[in-house]
Amino acid sequence: MAFAPEHDDALIVVDVQRDFCPGGSLAVPDGDQVVPVVNRLAPRFATVVTTHDSHPPDHSSFVEQGGPWPPHCVEGTPGWEPHPDLRVEPDYQVFKGRDRELDGYTGWNPELADFLGKQGVKRVVVVGLALDYCVQATALDASAAGHEVLVLTDATRAVNVQPGDGDRALDALRAAGVREDRAEG
């Protein structure tokens, strides 16, 4: 049986961008496999939010600046664009990582919380890339803000910089009270 959203759920689609998919500068293994699942899922929600990693060229998280990551999702580059097959019409967009000094993993912020409150959202359903970084941070912050949070495991993938990072992320989410399910049966 496929997951069925409630009328007061919001879908948060995290960072399904070219640089996080195969061929991108920080590709998540099988990251593009979330795209068809998200495309089938999004029209079933009354409220859809997308987040976009959106860095300046000299972001502090880049290796050249002493950070851990290769340059990725530099605003205005092809890698910054959504995956070309993603068919999601967001009601709200979050651009994160624009501050050169902040990592920008989480898509959660006060403006998003206010928007979701005005929509009457009770539960947020989080999908996208990467499970062990931005999906996890967004889900944990939404939970800390008092929302019920659900992560759909077949609509996310982990980058797994260290083997098992994705499993550890799921453990941390469970420990924080975040539930998990599958988008499709």
Query: Catalytic positions, please?
Result: 15, 96, 134
Q: Is the dihedral of CA 29, 31, 36, 37 positive or negative?
A: positive
Q: Is the dihedral of CA 43, 44, 49, 54 positive or negative?
A: negative
Beta strand pairing call for 148-157 and 92-96? unpaired
Contacts of 49 (CB under 8 A, 6+ apart): 10, 11, 12, 13, 90, 91, 92, 93, 94, 107, 112, 115, 116
